[in-house]
Amino acid sequence: MTGTVDDLVGLLDTAGLTGRGGAAFSTAVKVRAAHDHGAHLLVNACDGEVGAVKDAHVVAHHLDELVRGAVLVTGGRRQRSVRFAAHRGSDTALALHRAGLDVLDVPDRYVSSEETALISLAGGGLARPMTKRRPFVTGGRDQAGRRVPATVVLNAETVWRVAQVAERGPAWFRSFGTAAEPGPRLVALTGAVDRPGVLDTEAGVPLADLLDAARPAHGWEHAVVGGLGGVLLTADEARGLHWTGADLARFGGSVGPGVVDVLDPARCPLGTVTSFLLYAAGETAGQCGPCMFGVPSVAEAWRRLVETPSRQGVDEVRAAAGLLPGRGACRFPDGVGRFAASALRVLEPHLAAHASGTCPTRRSTHRVPHR
């Protein structure tokens, strides 16, 4: 176990631990900055991504280590400097309350568990993302000019891994994973699988092995890797990849929050993507252009394309999705744009079949009406 902040930061740096919530930023750097600025700690246990259940798994099975990791990150400072964020009324929130911890009850909205949205809520504001002129680990002000205390947000799995590194050492941690993505990491497998749940795995393993462990439905053809902010892949693409950022980047994806969702082979994937995008349109924060107008416009363009497949429709979806990246207060529009672009790429043959009046999901026996 470590003694000083310098000891802990050194261990985390040597271990190469990065955030397990999706951003993959150096945990050592965040912990150092938190101590330098006297930041409060928010442990994000919201499972905010579609299909995510890792935070619930950590709280249910590793709560003692999670709390120990939080104490290490804060250097043993008084308990009120640590809060655990979870969706209001969830089993995770109830477990944290029962443990006597300081819980930030978060609305069950997609953008509400984003880093700056949690900081806003903890400070008495709305659970909506804030424009980040600089990292809030140094403090700052919100859009209304109100002071925001220095706060660092770490994902629940990340904080649990901090405790493991401190207890078992960097060499143990680096015995898992790859040189570029070291350490054990959780992955949630969900959707059309016989054995949904959370696996404690590592970067570098074949994605096919993870899928086989979950037993996908017979005849499955597509999977979403990374949730709503991730990418759609064909079964062949997914099975040919290793669970690494470099491999997934070939298709525009990343290890991200560690979610693999196998799509139901009995349901037309065009309809599934429509459901994803309509959900996204309903979950926007409603406070900046890309979120208020851009995300719904992508969903609407996709809906029109599915109803009446055409080259013009494809171009409209591509154009709408291309306007989203890098323009919002948070990364939500970026993720939706990435997901929509991947769906266009993967489902082009399916769209072409629909344009001719057949649906491959129904083995070309169901006539698709034109409008």
CATH architecture of 269-362: Up-down Bundle (1.20)
216, 146 Cβ separation under 8 angstroms: no
Classify residue 134 by burial, with Cβ atoms within 10 Å: 0-12, 13-18, 19+. exposed
Mean pLDDT on 247-260: 94
* CATH number for region 5-171: 3.40.50.11540
Taking each helix axis from N to C terminus, what angle separates 63-73 and 156-168, rounded to the nearest 10 degrees?
Answer: 80
Buried b (16+ CB within 10 A) or exposed e, 8-26: bbebbbbbbbbbbbbbeee
- Give the DSSP H/E element, type plus range, for residue 67: helix 63-73
Mean pLDDT on 344-353: 94
Q: Identify the band that residue 369 occupies on the pLDDT scale cut at 50, 70 and 90.
A: very low
Dist. CA 61–CA 355, nearest whole Å: 49
- Give the DSSP H/E element, type plus range, for residue 345: helix 332-346
184, 62 Cβ separation under 8 angstroms: no
Q: What's the pLDDT at 330?
A: 75
Query: Quick check: 121 pLDDT over 70?
Result: yes
Dist. CA 119–CA 124, nearest whole Å: 9
Q: What's the pLDDT at 154?
A: 96
**Angle in degrees, CA 190, 51, 228, rounded to 5:** 125
Q: What's the pLDDT at 78?
A: 47
Locate the domains of the chain by residue range: 5-171, 176-262, 269-362
Residues 6 or more apart in contact with residue 311 via CB below 8 angstroms = none
Classify residue 371 by burial, with Cβ atoms within 10 Å: 0-12, 13-18, 19+. exposed
Question: What class has domain 176-262?
Answer: alpha beta
Dist. CA 17–CA 28, nearest whole Å: 7
Q: Identify the band that residue 368 occupies on the pLDDT scale cut at 50, 70 and 90.
A: very low
Mean pLDDT on 61-90: 88
Q: Specify the pTM.
A: 0.91
Q: Identify the band that residue 291 occupies on the pLDDT scale cut at 50, 70 and 90.
A: confident
For residues 288 and 271, which has the higher predicted lDDT (pLDDT)?
A: 271
For residues 3 and 39, which has the higher predicted lDDT (pLDDT)?
A: 39
Q: What's the pLDDT at 363?
A: 54
pLDDT digits (tens, 9 = 90+) for 260-273: 999 999 999 999 99
Dist. CA 289–CA 181, nearest whole Å: 35
Q: What's the pLDDT at 272?
A: 95
pLDDT digits (tens, 9 = 90+) for 183-228: 999 999 999 999 999 999 999 999 999 999 999 999 999 999 999 9
> Which of 11-25, 38-52, 323-337 is least confident?
323-337
Q: 141 — alpha (psi -120 to 50), left (phi > 0) or beta?
A: beta
